[in-house]
Amino acid sequence: MPYSMLKGFLERGELKNFQRMEKEGACAQGMIAPGPDATTPPAHAALLCGCGHQGHGIYSFDEPVIETGIIHPWKKRHGFDANRLKAEPLWVSFLKAGKKATLLHFPLSTPIDVFTSKAKFGADFSDRLTVIESFSQRLTPEIVRKNVDSEGTFSLKLSDSSKIPLPLTAPKSAEPAVFKNKQGGLWRMRFAPDQAGEPDLYFLSPFSRVLSNRQDLADQYLDEVGPFAASAAAYSYNKDKLGNRIYRSGSGKAEQRLAQSLDLLGQHFYSAIEFVLEKVKPEVGFYYFNGIDLCLHLWMAYLDPSSPAYSKKIFDSLWPVVKKMFEWTDRILGLLMERSGPEDLLVVVSDHGMAPIEAIFYPNQVLADAGYLVWDYKKKEPDLTQSRAVYQGSNSGYIVLNLKSRGGIAADEDADELAAKVASAFEPQRGTVLDKIELTAEHPEIPPLGEIHLVPKYKITLQEEVEGKVLEKNFYAGQHHYWAESEAMKAVLCFKGPGVPAGCRLGVRNHLEVAKTIALLAGIKPPEKAGFGPIKF
């Protein structure tokens, strides 16, 4: 959630629970995520551990595997994996202090055994830790198909190779399909047609399991809250499967259909938090909601009147949907306020803001043009038997040399010289497309996940494909990899409770200060590596 957008709502007198938070608590005028990568996993690690990436060990969504100091750009590891945390997160500090803590669909909370039987943080906290998590438990993609009116069923194949039967006809309103033997399920929805005579659309949310270290609770969750609903139909929307998008000459129907699925998502997270408050009654709860993030990834560049993508017609179609997700966030905040007392501490943080995107830069095209890379058009990936340097798409700006020690073709003894030459191939882009072209060996503050680190100019994103162009203009979206200090990327931070003066303004803060501040307000020992803060009220 960008602070600038929240501020707009508050100035218009909207979002009554955030209004109350601002009046009765202390709020920052924006919060900056530590760079160079402001994606969800490293941003959460910084918030919860109170230290930078070298301390907590999480750098991005997907990173190349590093084995005995060697980077393998084509083997990936996942940023949400708790095994990789090198620093104690705040919930461990609460568990160590003897508190009962619950993590609900919270980043870096799985595999659960990291905090229980593996005792990575010094003890098995099974007796007081409850984890419920589903983001990592998806067994099918989301599906949109034409509705068929029939009594029959079809079978849906899950990624564990099993199949489940589902009715051919979509229900009139959203309906859960729960499979207890699979510990999960999905939601079925129907979208009304765009034009008369067209069939209805049938949307199936991804099949997800409910993972928990308390099996009874997972079963109860499925009965009372229903299957996990977190992605809405955003992927399908982006592929025009809900109808043409409004900015691709759509009628606005695709946005209405997406809004219907986003409403289910908002309701699901609200019910899930209510379930934890009533059934688990934790002393400390960590809750996560991704509704605003989903919308802004799609539309950030269309919402600003000064953007070349802006038109009133487009804005009028998108804004009600964005507003609805802010309202769901506000409702969830209202629920937490209503269920907490004056002795409770309530903290609202967003892990990042959202920058508008207006163009795509293709680093692998530059490498191909300069003769360092051969693209396999069939597999849509670099041909590693012929490439000496590659940009790995999910890897936030790193160019990695395909050295022999990594199973590649470039001689290790020439690595420095090759890195300098490859970096110089990007020089023509400096100032117009790229802000920075840095050799990581010369910059210890940049995580060493490749030899060269590229930072694009504001509003330009990077993509892996080679399609015959270096830059694609007029591509509009939202993204939060870079530019942590830009206005749009500033995040939200608010506190309310004992020790927090009402109506206090905290200036611009940093993610790194949050963990220690919460720990001290709660009267517990801060996370071991929390080296920043506390914020003074």
Helix, coil or strand: residue 75: strand
- CB closer to Zn ion out of 293 and 464: 293
| Least CB distance to Zn ion at residue 309 (A) | 19
Which segment (182-190, 290-298, 331-339, 463-471) binds Zn ion by CB under 5 A?
290-298
Which segment (210-218, 289-297, 438-446, 493-501) binds Zn ion by CB under 5 A?
289-297
Cα 212 from Cα 146, distance rounded (Å): 35
| Least CB distance to Zn ion at residue 432 (A) | 27
- CB closer to Zn ion out of 145 and 297: 297
H/E stretch holding 368 reads helix 363-369
| Least CB distance to Zn ion at residue 321 (A) | 16
**Selection from 60, 92, 56 nearest residue 480 by Cα:** 60
Report how many residues bind Zn ion under the rule CB under 5 A: 1
Which segment (85-93, 155-163, 287-295, 367-375) binds Zn ion by CB under 5 A?
287-295
- CB closer to Zn ion out of 217 and 301: 301
Q: Extract the tokens encoding 10.
A: 């508050």
The contact pattern for Zn ion, residues 397-436, with x = CB under 5 A and - = no contact, is ----------------------------------------
Q: What is the DSSP letter of 198?
A: P
| Least CB distance to Zn ion at residue 204 (A) | 23
- CB closer to Zn ion out of 293 and 381: 293
Q: For residues 30 and 508, is the Cβ–Cβ distance under 8 A?
A: yes
Q: How far is CA 20 from CA 10, 15, 335, 387, 517, in A?
A: 10, 9, 13, 57, 21
10 Å CB burial of residue 175 (0-12, 13-18, 19+) is middle
H/E stretch holding 295 reads helix 291-299
**Selection from 432, 357, 436 nearest residue 398 by Cα:** 436
Which segment (293-301, 376-384, 511-519, 521-529) binds Zn ion by CB under 5 A?
293-301
10 Å CB burial of residue 250 (0-12, 13-18, 19+) is middle
- CB closer to Zn ion out of 202 and 288: 288
| Least CB distance to Zn ion at residue 5 (A) | 14
- CB closer to Zn ion out of 188 and 480: 480
- CB closer to Zn ion out of 255 and 293: 293
Cα 435 from Cα 95, distance rounded (Å): 43
What one-character-per-residue DSSP string does 156-167 give? EE-TTS-EEEEE
The residue nearest Zn ion at its CB is 293
| Least CB distance to Zn ion at residue 352 (A) | 7
- Amino acid in the structure at residue 214: R
- CB closer to Zn ion out of 354 and 400: 354
Question: Residue-wise over 495-516: b if at least 16 C-beta within 10 A, else e?
Answer: bbbeebeeeeebeebbbbbbbb
| Least CB distance to Zn ion at residue 39 (A) | 7
The contact pattern for Zn ion, residues 144-183, with x = CB under 5 A and - = no contact, is ----------------------------------------
Q: Is 293 in the site for Zn ion (CB under 5 A)?
A: yes
Radius of gyration of the chain (CA): 24
Cα 37 from Cα 49, distance rounded (Å): 16
In the block, tokens 């117009």 appear at: 432
| Least CB distance to Zn ion at residue 225 (A) | 23
- CB closer to Zn ion out of 263 and 293: 293
| Least CB distance to Zn ion at residue 409 (A) | 35
Which segment (113-121, 292-300, 333-341, 496-504) binds Zn ion by CB under 5 A?
292-300
- CB closer to Zn ion out of 206 and 478: 478
Q: Is 37 in the site for Zn ion (CB under 5 A)?
A: no
Q: Which positions lie near Zn ion, rule CB under 5 A?
A: 293
